[in-house]
Structure formats: C-alpha cells, structure tokens
Structure 1
Amino acid sequence: MRFSTTVAAAAVAGGALAKDINVSVGKSGLKFEPAEITAAEGDNIYFKFWPKNHSVAQAAFAKPCEPLEGGLWSGFVPTTDTAKAAELTYMFTVTNASAPIWFYCTQGQHCQNGMVGVINPPYNNNNRTLQAFTEAAAQARQNVSPTSTAGEGGMLMNGTDHSTTPTSSGSATSGSPTGAASSLQVNSLAFSGVFGMLAYLVL
C-alpha cells in the first residue's frame, strides 16, 4: 500500500511541474512567437506551423543557419490555410534547462532574415543573446537543412489542440505521432518520478 501511494504521489508531483509552451512558426511573418523562451525541465514545447512552408532546426550559437549534429529537426511543414495552424505539430520535451537551445527556420533565406529563436538563453553571458544570434544569422552565407529524419529529437503530431497534455510523465498523449518519440520523453519521466518521490518523502 505504501509503495502504491508513493508512486501515485510521485506522479502527481512530477506532473505538476510540466507545462505546455506553444510557439507559432511564421504566423506573423518570418519569425517565431515567442522567439525567446524560458522553460523548465519537463516542459513540452509545441511548434505550430503557419503558411507557407516552414521548419525548425537546432543550431550551435557559433554557427547559425547550420544544423547541429543530432539536434532537433521538424522537417518542412507546408500549409496554405491562413485561418489556423497546420494539423502537423512538432513537439519535444526539455530535459536540461541549463543548456540553451538555439534554433532557426531552414526555408530559403528565412534564417538570414531573422527567423531564429532560443530556449533558455544564458542570461549571465551578454555576448550570447538572441540579438547576437540574429545578427550572426544575417551574415550566414547559406541556410542549411539537416539530413536527418523529420521529427528528430522529439515527435511530429497530428492535431493542434494539446490542452489535455502532458501526462504525468511529461509525454504527449493527444494527437497521432508520426515520428518516433526520442529519449527526451523517457528522461522526463525519470526526472518527474525522482522529484515526486523526494517531495513525498519530505512531506
């Protein structure tokens, strides 16, 4: 009985930490909204795509508009409906809030034109800011798409309503995944479970 109670308390405490953060891709021109995001470990980031054809790829700060090996990659998500976001959404779970995630759109010259963003920028480093990343991107000679499979680092999901997610594990349940979920969801489960266990023992 005590074991089952402990597990239940861990799930509740862990689930309470996670939240959904929506990012509009190209809704109001060549930009991400918001372009600068603060997220905690276990939070789910949902990129929602607007016309005409955009993408999300992870880059290193020193190499904007170039894909980071093994980094996030949504693939291209074309849509023509200006009244709503595309049915296909790219989602991933933050597992290390201390590691900045720099990203950009790989379409045409979108990266050079300022379609870039960052999750958890290093606030103690004035040289590594979103503005600095944007200025460096403007000078990039080319805009490169990853060669990895679309959905890398997270998952592609059908459906734009994620009001019922995440579950206590931090993984998405609504919609239909079209790409394999990465180990990010597994790591989120471990984080939530451990934190929940500690909370139960303290209380």
Structure 2
Amino acid sequence: MRFSLLTLLSATAALAAPSQVSEGTSLEARNDGVTHFVYVTENGIFPPEVHANEGDFIWFRFGYGLNSIVEGEYEQPCQSYGNGFASPSIYHTNSGYYHQVFVVDVPNTEPRWYYSSEDSRCKKGHVAVINPPSDGSQTLANYQARALRAPRVMEFSERGGQMENDN
C-alpha cells in the first residue's frame, strides 16, 4: 500500500506542476512557453491560482459533466468580459477528462480573473485567477466572496482561446 500511495502522490504532484510543452504537439511551434494545467470539474477549478509568465499557456482540462470557463473582471464576478477568453460548453459523460483541452495564451503577467459558468457554479464560488496581484489589493478570497452574491451569470460565446487535442 505504501508504494501505491507514494506513486499516487508523485503522479499528482507531476500533474499539478507546470511543464514544458511536450514535443510533437501543435503548440510547440508557437514558442517555448511553459504549459500550466487547470482542471475544471463539477467540484471546482484546480488549482484556483496560477502564476504564469508572458508566453506561457494555460491548458484547461474538463472533467465529468457540463463545464466551461469564462474570463470576467475582478469588479464584476460572474460576468463575461467582452475581450476575455471563454471556452465552449463541454459535456463529458465518461470518467477522467475530456479528450480536448481549451488553450489560452498568456500575453502578459496582468491578473486574469475567470469562473465556471455552468449551472450557477460561479455563484457557488467556482472562480480562479491567473497571476493574482502580489500586493494583496485584489484577492481570490474577496473575488470568491463577491461571486457568491453576484447577479445572474450572463451569456457568453467561445473566444480568446482554442480547443486542442490533449495528446
């Protein structure tokens, strides 16, 4: 049992850590940025905070059920930001993760706040941030608290990223 637990913990750490884009993917031709994996599930967005550099990529992997992610603004939780990213709604009925990822380029190190837009999950606190401010002026905890009181989630359309096969 010890070996199995150690193996599982090692695999979990490896999946959560940023990694270089693997050879042979269509993203490799774009640049040498680091790929950060974010998992979007019925239970939340993991990890809720990602620290990325300009030129990195965020690969959103979708779990079982109906899932999507939409970029919003800090001051207006659960509201789509017109110039931000938005994935399509992904309905996945199998165990594990959907066979495609939604890929978003990181153009700079400015904060990018986003949320899960399906089934009022944003209003249940399913929010996250890429590059939270280091000065503490805007926090994920505050964004999440305000999301719980936010008005109805607005409609959105896919933009600002693209679906790729998860090789």
Q: Aligning the two structures, in what range does the TM-score lie when normalised by the shorter sequence?
A: 0.7 to 0.9
Cα deviation 1:112-154 (Å, max 9, x = unaligned):
1111100001111x241000000000001212231x3x2x111
Question: Quick one: distance in 2 between partners of 1:101 and 1:114?
Answer: 16
Give the structure with the larger helix fraction.
1
Question: Quick one: distance in 2 between partners of 1:81 and 1:127?
Answer: 40
Counterpart selection for 1:138 from 148, 153, 158? 148
State the 1:15 CA deviation.
4.7
**RMSD of Structure 2 on Structure 1 (CA):** 1.5
Counterpart position of 1:107? 118
Counterpart position of 1:85? 97
TM-score normalised according to structure 2 size: 0.78
After TM superposition, which residue ranges in structure 1, 4 or more long, deviate above 4 angstroms? none
Aligned positions of 1:153-168 closer than 5 A = 153-157=160-164, 159-161=165-167
Question: Which 5+ residue runs of structure 2 have no aligned equivalent?
Answer: 1-29
State the 1:109 CA deviation.
1.5
Question: Quick one: distance in 1 between partners of 2:146 and 2:89?
Answer: 23
Counterpart position of 1:24? 39
Counterpart position of 1:201? none
Counterpart position of 2:23? none
Question: Quick one: distance in 2 between partners of 1:72 and 1:114?
Answer: 19
Question: Quick one: distance in 2 between partners of 1:30 and 1:115?
Answer: 8
**For residue 156 of structure 1, what is the amino acid of its counterpart?**
M
Question: Quick one: distance in 1 between partners of 2:43 and 2:151?
Answer: 18
Question: Which 5+ residue runs of structure 1 have no aligned equivalent?
Answer: 1-13, 162-203
**Bigger relative CO (Cα 8 Å, ≥ 6 apart):** 1
TM-score normalised according to structure 1 size: 0.65
- The SS at the match of 2:114 is strand
Q: Percent identity?
A: 27
Counterpart selection for 1:94 from 82, 106, 130? 106
Equivalent pair of 1:59/1:67 in contact (CA under 8 Å): yes
Question: Quick one: distance in 2 between partners of 1:153 and 1:34?
Answer: 21
1:33 and 2:46 correspond: yes
Counterpart position of 1:64? 77
Which of 1 and 2 has greater Rg?
Answer: 1
Counterpart position of 2:133? 122
